[in-house]
Copies of this chain bind each other. A is one copy, B any other.
Amino acid sequence: MSQYIELFISDCKGKGLSVTYQRLAVFKCLMNCKNHPTAEEIFSHVKIDHPTISLATIYKNLEVLAQNNIISKVTPLHDLARFDIDTGLHHHAVCIKCRNIIDIPNDDFDSLSIPTQISSGFEVKNYKIQFEGICNSCSKLNH
């Protein structure tokens, strides 16, 4: 049994999560899938070995594991489509409390020299930095 799985099991136990057959299967699938699969993709994979598993179980496990920081969501903050009148290069800061999105102009990050090729042949056309944190209003509310 791989060290990752052992770590997963002790992580779960440490956080009071049962190590079920299904939860382990979800984790293993994520461990073997390099492509950051969707819930549906995980479901398809896991069903091969566990034909009776339910999609709802996949969702529940993904949610619980993400909340316990055992896995992460690629798009944690905006599942809802949001639109922007600015089509130029700029970045976004997302408040993890109120979920508002603030524009960040690119000027602040012109020191960032992005290579045109990264990671074995990926040709970069565009990039965006997404900052996460607490906005001004929310940090005032806190105290």
Given contacts A74-B84, A127-B132, contact A121 B93 (CB under 8 A): no
Residues on B with C-beta less than 8 A from A134 are 122-123, 125
Does A83 contact B93, Cβ atoms closer than 8 Å?
Answer: no
Which residues of chain B come closer than 8 Å to A84, judged between CB atoms? 30, 36, 71-74
State which of B35, B111, B112, B131 has its C-beta within 8 Å of the C-beta of A126: B131
Main secondary structure of the interface of A (DSSP, over half): mixed
Considering the complex, give the chain B residue whose CB is closest to the CB of A132: B126
Task: Compute how far the CA of A120 lies from the CA of B93 in the bound complex, rounded to whole angstroms.
Answer: 12
Q: Is the CB of A82 within 8 A of B38?
A: yes
- How many chain copies? 2
The complex places the Cα of A52 from the Cα of B115 at a distance, in Å, of 49
> Taking CB as reference atom, which chain B residue is nearest A120?
B136
Asked whether any CB of chain B lies closer than 8 Å to the CB of A141, the reply is no
Bound-state CA distance A124–B102 (Å) is 12
Q: Is the CB of B108 within 8 A of A122?
A: no
Partner of A132, one of B66, B111, B124: B124
Tell me whether B101 and A121 are in contact (CB under 8 A): no
Does B129 contact A38, Cβ atoms closer than 8 Å? no
Between A and B, 7 residue pairs with Cβ closer than 8 Å are A36-B92, A71-B83, A74-B81, A93-B119, A93-B124, A104-B118, A111-B113
For the complex of A and B, 6 pairs with smallest distance between CB atoms: A121-B136, A74-B82, A125-B133, A36-B82, A124-B133, A126-B132
